[in-house]
Amino acid sequence: MLEEQIGKDYIQAMKDRDSVRSSTLSFLRAQMKNVIIDKKVKGLSDEDVITVIKKQIKQRQDSIAQFEKGGRQDLAGKETAEMAILKSYLPEEMSQQELEGLVAAAIVETQAASMKDMGKVMKVVTGKAQGKADNKVVSELVKEALAKL
């Protein structure tokens, strides 16, 4: 399981004295523990762990944008390094062509006729992509496809 792998990698990062990796994984583990407490379960499924990781990546992206806007390249670099560590735990992203195929199939499946049906199409595509696609990219593809109808 992904949760166990993160725990093992955290211990190894501590042994290696890799401060960036250990602090990133420590914070990730804390966030995972918060989700465990909120859901009142003993452990997280891989899907739950991926959701936590994606949330952390989104926070890093927002921080990077703010730091670059403020001229703090040193902090932006640190956040970029942490984001790369987090991304290493995500499943491989789907290609653009695979996503376009999923969007086209979802439009047919939901019988979408206009932009009003975007929510239905997004729900089907994100369900089939199973965390292997960035929702922002999926949203853009769905908008483009529905605009052509």
112 and 64 part of one domain: no
pLDDT of residue 137: 83
End-to-end CA distance of the chain: 42
Q: End of a domain among 55, 87, 119?
A: 87
110 and 81 part of one domain: no
Residue ranges making up the domain that contains 141: 96-147
70 and 140 part of one domain: no
Percent of the chain predicted with pLDDT > 90: 51
Mean pLDDT, all residues of the chain = 90
Average pLDDT over residues 8-30: 96
Tell me the pLDDT tens digit for each residue of 104-120: 888 888 888 888 888 88
- Tokens 């042994």 found at: 15
**76: nearest Cα among 84, 85, 86, 66:** 66
2-15 helix and 46-69 helix, angle to the nearest 10 degrees: 50
Q: State the DSSP string of 118-145.
A: HHHHHHHHHHHHTTSS-HHHHHHHHHHH
80 and 100 part of one domain: no
Distance, CA of 99 to CA of 83 (rounded, Å): 23
What is the CATH classification number for the domain harbouring 137? 1.10.10.410
Phi, psi of 72 (to 5 degrees): -105, 75
70 and 137 part of one domain: no
Question: How many domains does the chain contain in total?
Answer: 2
Average pLDDT over residues 28-49: 92
pLDDT of residue 64: 95
**Token pair of 89 as six digits:** 């735990």
54 and 110 part of one domain: no
Tell me the pLDDT tens digit for each residue of 53-107: 989 999 999 999 999 999 999 999 999 999 999 999 988 888 888 888 888 888 8
6 and 73 part of one domain: yes
Q: Please check the confidence at residue 8 and state whether its pLDDT lies above 90.
A: yes
pLDDT of residue 118: 86
117 and 81 part of one domain: no
66 and 135 part of one domain: no
Distance, CA of 50 to CA of 75 (rounded, Å): 25
127 and 79 part of one domain: no
pTM of the model: 0.74
51 and 81 part of one domain: yes
What is the CATH classification number for the domain harbouring 35? 1.10.1510.10
What confidence category does residue 22 fall into, taking pLDDT thresholds of 50, 70 and 90? very high
